[in-house]
Amino acid sequence: FFPDVTQPWREACYRSVAALVNQCEKCEECAEFCASNRKLTLLMVHCWGGKALIHQGLLAILNQQTNLPECLFEILVKEERRKKLAQQAQHNKQQSCTAGMGNNGNIKNE
């Protein structure tokens, strides 16, 4: 998808794609437009690489798509699992913090 690593404009290509992904996070019309072009969507997924948390702009693009290929659909499934795990961890953290509080919100003396 991108120029060979020896090409000086390779980094500019990554930056351009990243700028589009950032726009898609802020603008639903941009996400719809990018989602309408399968090659552009695949380019954005390739740029992301799958190693870090999915960028919210890329997530917006994928959510706009219908009939996703299996590889792209799997990204959405993994993101949904990650989101649920994060919510559960946050809930557990809140529960453990409030378990040590008394009725008036003060820390219990044991």
Give per-residue pLDDT as tens, 54-95: 888 998 998 888 788 888 888 888 888 988 998 899 988 888
Give the residues across from 107 on adjacent strands.
Answer: 101
Alpha helices in 1-110 (DSSP H): 10-26, 28-35, 38-48, 56-64, 70-99
Average pLDDT, the chain: 84
Question: In the block, which residue shows the tokens 């996703």?
Answer: 68
Q: Look up the pTM and report it.
A: 0.66
State residue 71's pLDDT score.
83
Alpha-carbon torsion (96, 99, 103, 109), positive or negative: negative
Closest CA to 62 of 86, 40, 85: 40
Which DSSP symbol is given to 51? S
